[in-house]
Chains A and B, each alone.
Chain A
């Protein structure tokens, strides 16, 4: 059973009642992600989330964490470009105490100077430690280059310099701006009392200032022409991380569903072209896949592989050939049937738990996607034909315009990679400067 209502502060509430487990999940999503970070203070919203978790006024961080544990609750805070999210899980009998704790956390955060300094040091340490993760380096470099000067290209995690510029007053001002009824979407799933819920949520979050919905109005990113290669240079790599891609679609784009089906045939399944050619036939990479990223605007389409350094040049050349053939010729009727069959028949797994059903609804609200994006998916996929895919590919993807990021030891691979077909520019970035 699902419901939709508004708190007295103007927060939209979406629910999915289900008694399969004696557990309740609660999500508080602020339409205020890293896009709102001021210029030069990238990473501020993530620091805001870290500092928020240090607890409400009058409660030390450790006491707050212990209070959560006493009621059997788990808490997570995350920040995407588009929104900041507080997620909580609790055994059903303790839902009300959880609401009390989260109400205090959201409405009366302490933001003590010492705590802010502490979480800033932690964020900086994590940023340095993250350079151990080649995949993450690859994604960060690829997105920032592929999206150019669009706000989505900005770093969500920040840099050492930008994090050092964020102070206590920034976080207090940010809180006053973004924590408002109309800017908050509340999601509840699981074994709660449907009759009591509106009153419980009003008691916890009804006194927030109404404020306004801060979802930014963004233009779509611009396509950068030509093929551009960036090598993220890291010593002693026996393996590479490779991302190749370009702009994709937004779910409101009429070409979105045909491109989704076309991508499923190209690199969305274990038996799709890319995986078959790279992994099954040649054994070059443990993983080989492609996909569309979704957000408030048109976002990226990309393919990901991670071959041994010795196979990187050949693998990348093959990927470019496969991509060109796909964009030029589309997919076969057999591939179409397989991709559509999978997307339609696997749909029950999109909605088999209350938490997934709620997530689908939250996507619509937080990303401003068409209301039938999920519910109409089966019908929309069913209507796609090969000519639709060929049209979507020719209109939205271009074999000439590609960004390529390779995490590798540049001294070993640069000469091989810069001679790849059509490469117009080559950039080498040290891994600790991504």
Chain B
């Protein structure tokens, strides 16, 4: 066992309690016979349980309400680096043993970080319930941070950044799009962090971050699958109950000033064809207009019958690919549109076609048939996201963390069903404003526009 580290967390805040987890609410899991049960420990830890014994497996997920939005300039990428460090050493477990224990149990474990959250997930055979409770509770309160591991993990993250951004054309464009569209709001810096910030992190930065954000009252556990609820609650109380709540920092609200003019950036990169990325300011995931704009996005990009696929890929044949997506963020993000042009075709053609189709969405009401087709697709997508224990837990954790209530998952499909053709037209008029747009253009460097022989 490693020696007790000076980097272990300071115990502070409200005193610990031995009271059993309190049932807060019970909600039917959509139209199935399953029940979502919400509990809270005295220290503020939220627990969401979904018992589904259809397979002898379980998914154990830990969602923390901290992401890159909570980082300061000069320290970007810390939430993501920290996600990597959580797989290292604790006061009770040597370096690398967390992964070893999970693998020995037949499990898989990983994590992800985005703007609003950090998410740890493990899928295990149902018989390994106590193993995962002990491991996850331990690293949430007893992580040890040492310089060699921090240094090595910074290298890994720098390599991840090269993979996702520096040597990736679309990654480079996405990073620049957000940096240009959000000049004040922290959504403007990349979740993976700027390279200089990654290289500059110290062990002390990491310790401070851990103490500040990794607290039971900033965490939701989601467990879905085959488990005995009473036994699980006893385990959770035993291993998480002694943790103390922390005084969480209040992050000052940052409102991005309204963008009044289009911002355009042009890059020359080693790529065979021209590329265009547009970003329109879009509503937060919890905004009532999010569902209608999602439907509009699907109408434009979501399938082979979608308007912009038909226009750019099939009719004009100027693009090999066109996609659109809306950031599912807690605060307003972007709806981004990407077009990969074909050889001999140019950004101007794609831009004119996109603008024309967006104007049509504002000027003309879409047909009921077109709307109903999109809703049918959305229903299938919603169902398929729930196929596995892991899929169910992920959806619940995401809704709980971003919207503050996992049960809103079950009303989302209904929100989609209620969207009318008038709603689609209204949100298109509201959000597709070219003067409030950010545009990234990429053209091939000389000699890069070759063709596979």
| A-to-B contact residues, CB < 8 Å | 20-23, 53, 61-62, 65-66, 69-74, 89-91, 118, 121-122, 125-132, 134, 159-161, 234-239, 269-271, 276, 279-286, 306-308, 338, 341-342, 344-349, 351-353, 355, 430-434
B interface residues, how many (CB within 8 angstroms): 73
Chain A residues positioned under 8 Å from B123 (CB to CB): 349
Inter-chain contact A125/B100, CB cutoff 8 Å:
no
Q: Report the minimal beta-carbon distance from B163 to chain A, rounded to whole angstroms.
A: 6
Please state if A90 and B380 are interface contacts (CB–CB under 8 Å).
yes
In the bound complex, do residue A235 and residue B388 qualify as a contact, i.e. CB atoms below 8 Å apart? no
Contact, CB under 8 Å: B155 / A284: yes
Q: A69-B374, A271-B99 are in contact. Are A129 and B273 (CB under 8 A)?
A: yes
| Known contacts A69-B377, A131-B450, A132-B169, then 18 further A-B pairs from the complex at CB < 8 Å, ordered by chain A residue | A21-B384, A21-B387, A61-B304, A65-B303, A66-B369, A91-B379, A122-B320, A160-B453, A161-B453, A238-B166, A283-B151, A283-B155, A285-B156, A286-B160, A345-B128, A348-B56, A349-B123, A351-B55
Contact yes or no, A285 B159, CB < 8 A: yes
- List B contacts of A161 (CB < 8 A): 453
Asked whether B162 lies within 8 Å of A70 as measured between CB atoms, the reply is no
Question: Which residues of chain B from 371 to 430 have any CB-CB distance to chain A below 8 Å in the complex?
Answer: 372-374, 376-377, 379-380, 383-384, 386-389
- What distance in Å separates the Cβ of B310 from its nearest Cβ neighbour in chain A? 7
- Given the known interface contacts A66-B373, A271-B96, A271-B100, the answer about A235 and B158 at a Cβ–Cβ threshold of 8 Å is no
Tell me whether A286 and B159 are in contact (CB under 8 A).
yes
Cβ–Cβ contact B383 & A69, under 8 A: no
For residue B306, which residue of chain A has the nearest CB?
A65
Among A285, A308, A352, contact of B388 (Cβ-Cβ < 8 Å): A352
Does B256 sit within 8 A of A, measured CB to CB? no
0 or 1 for each of B48-76: is its CB under 8 Å from A? (1 = yes): 00000011110000000000000000000
Known interface pairs A125-B320, A283-B159. Does A341 touch B103 (Cβ–Cβ under 8 Å)?
yes
Minimum Cβ distance to chain B for residue A302 (Å): 18
Query: How far, in whole Å, are A129 and B320 apart by their CA atoms in the complex?
Result: 8
Stretch of B105-113, B231-239, B433-441 lying at the A interface: B105-113
Cβ of B189 within 8 Å of any chain A Cβ, yes or no, is no
- Say whether B7 faces chain A, with CB atoms less than 8 Å apart: no
Please measure, in the bound complex, the distance between the C-alpha atom of A318 and the C-alpha atom of B239, giving whole angstroms. 41
B323 within 8 A of A: no
Chain B, range 343-376, C-beta contacts under 8 Å to A: 343, 369, 372-374, 376
Complex Cα distance A20/B225, Å?
13
Contacts of B168 in A (CB 8 A): 132
Measured in the bound complex, the distance between the Cα atoms of B369 and A413 in whole Å is: 57
- The reply on B342 being an interface residue by CB < 8 A is yes
B90 to chain A minimum Cβ distance, whole angstroms, is 16
Question: In the bound complex, how far is the Cα of B47 from the Cα of A181, in angstroms?
Answer: 52
Contacting pair B452 A434 (CB below 8 A): yes
Cβ of B208 within 8 Å of any chain A Cβ, yes or no, is: no
- The answer on a CB contact under 8 Å between B104 and A282 is no
A91 and B163 contact, CB distance less than 8 A:
no
Query: Cβ of B379 and Cβ of A280 under 8 Å apart?
Result: no
Please name 20 pairs of A and B residues whose Cβ atoms are closer than 8 Å in the assembled complex, sorted by A. Answer: A61-B314, A65-B303, A66-B305, A69-B305, A70-B369, A74-B377, A90-B380, A129-B272, A129-B340, A131-B450, A132-B168, A159-B453, A239-B159, A239-B162, A270-B99, A271-B100, A283-B159, A285-B159, A345-B106, A353-B387
Shortest beta-carbon distance, B72 to chain A, in Å?
A: 24
Q: Which of B123, B317, B379, B453 has the most CB of A within 10 A?
A: B453
Known: A132-B271, A348-B56. A432 touches B166 (CB 8 A): no
Check if B152 sits within 8 Å of A281, measured CB to CB: yes
Q: In the complex, how many angstroms separate the beta carbon of B129 from the nearest chain A beta carbon?
A: 13
Q: Answer whether residue B451 sits at the interface, using C-beta atoms and an 8 A cutoff.
A: yes
- Whether A308 touches B162, Cβ cut-off 8 Å, given contacts A160-B453, A283-B152, is yes
The 9 closest A-B pairs by CB, nearest first: A345-B106, A283-B155, A432-B450, A72-B376, A69-B373, A352-B55, A346-B106, A125-B320, A239-B162
Q: A280-B152, A342-B104, A352-B57 are in contact. Are A238 and B383 (CB under 8 A)?
A: no
Q: Assess whether A125 is in contact with B343, with CB atoms less than 8 Å apart.
A: yes
B-chain residues with CB within 8 Å of residue A238 when the two chains form the complex: 162, 166-167
Residue on B nearest A126 in the bound complex, by CB: B320
Which residues from chain B sit less than 8 Å from chain A, CB to CB?
54-57, 95-96, 99-100, 103-109, 123, 125-126, 128, 151-160, 162-163, 166-170, 270-273, 303-305, 310, 313-314, 317, 320-321, 340, 342-343, 369, 372-374, 376-377, 379-380, 383-384, 386-389, 445, 447-448, 450-453
Answer whether A131 and B106 are a contact pair too, CB < 8 Å, given A70-B372, A276-B96, A348-B57.
no
- Pick from B95, B163, B386: contact of A286, CB below 8 A: B163
Asked whether, in the complex, the Cβ of A128 is within 8 Å of the Cβ of B451, the reply is: yes
CA A349 to CA B108, docked complex, whole Å: 10
CB-CB under 8 A from A234, the residues of chain B are: 270
Chain B, residue nearest A309 (CB): B162
| Interfacial chain B residues near A71, Cβ < 8 Å | 376
Decide if A235 touches B448 in the complex (CB within 8 Å): yes
- The contact of A125 among B167, B342, B372, by CB within 8 Å, is B342
Taking the closest CB of chain B, its distance from the CB of A11, in whole angstroms, is 26
Complex formed: what's the CA distance from A288 to B170 in Å? 23
* Residue among B155, B166, B168 having the largest count of chain A Cβ atoms under 10 Å: B155
Which of A91, A344, A433 is B453 in contact with, Cβ under 8 Å?
A433
Contact of B380 among A89, A126, A235, A286 (CB under 8 A): A89
Q: In whole angstroms, how far apart are the Cα atoms of A285 and B154 in the complex?
A: 11
The CA of A282 and the CA of B159, in the complex, are separated in Å by 12
Residue ID in chain B nearest A275 by CB atoms: B99
- Taking CB atoms, residues of chain A closer than 8 Å to B166 are 238-239
Kindly provide the distance from the CB of B283 to the nearest chain A CB, expressed in whole angstroms: 25
Name which residue of chain A comes closest to B342, CB basis: A125
Nearest CB in chain B to that of A157: its residue: B452
| Bound form: Cα–Cα A214–B140 in Å | 56
**Contacts A21-B387, A286-B156, A341-B106 known; A121 to B452 CB distance under 8 Å?**
no
The CA-CA distance from A53 to B313 in the complex, in Å, is: 15
Bound Cα distance from A23 to B383, whole angstroms: 8
CB neighbours (8 Å) of A89 from chain B are 380, 384
Partner of A283, one of B104, B126, B156, B317: B156
Name the B residues within 8 Å of A160 (CB-CB). Answer: 451-453
A321 to B448, CA, bound (A): 36
**B272 near A344 (CB under 8 angstroms)?**
no
- Report yes or no: B376 in contact with A279, Cβ–Cβ below 8 A: no
Cα-based distance from A236 to B104 in the complex (angstroms): 42
Q: How far is the CA of A167 from the CA of B283 in the complex (A)?
A: 48
Given the known interface contacts A128-B272, A283-B153, A345-B125, the answer about A23 and B384 at a Cβ–Cβ threshold of 8 Å is: yes
- In the bound complex, what is the Cα–Cα distance between A353 and B213 (angstroms)? 36
A355 to B388, CA, bound (A): 11
Q: Contact between A342 and B103 (Cβ–Cβ < 8 Å)?
A: yes
Residue contact A353 to B96, C-beta cutoff 8 Å: no
- Contact at A129–B321, with CB atoms within 8 Å? yes
**Complex CA distance for A345 and B128, rounded to whole angstroms:** 10
Bound state CA distance, A352 and B226, in angstroms? 11
A352, B160: Cα distance in complex, Å: 31
On whether the beta carbons of B377 and A128 are closer than 8 Å, the reply is no
Find out whether the CB atom of A348 lies under 8 angstroms from the CB atom of B159.
no
**Interface contact A70-B373, CB-CB below 8 Å:** yes
**Residues of chain B within 8 A of A307, CB atoms compared:** 159
B153, closest chain A residue (CB): A283
Contacting residues, chain A, for B453 (C-beta < 8 A): 159-161, 432-433
Which residue on B lies nearest to A237, using beta carbons?
Answer: B167
- Contacts A21-B387, A131-B452, A342-B106; is A353 near B55 (CB within 8 Å)? yes
Least CB distance from B269 to A in Å reads 8
Question: Which of A74, A281, A344, A430 meets B450, CB within 8 Å?
Answer: A430
Chain B residues within 8 Å of A353, by CB: 55, 387-388
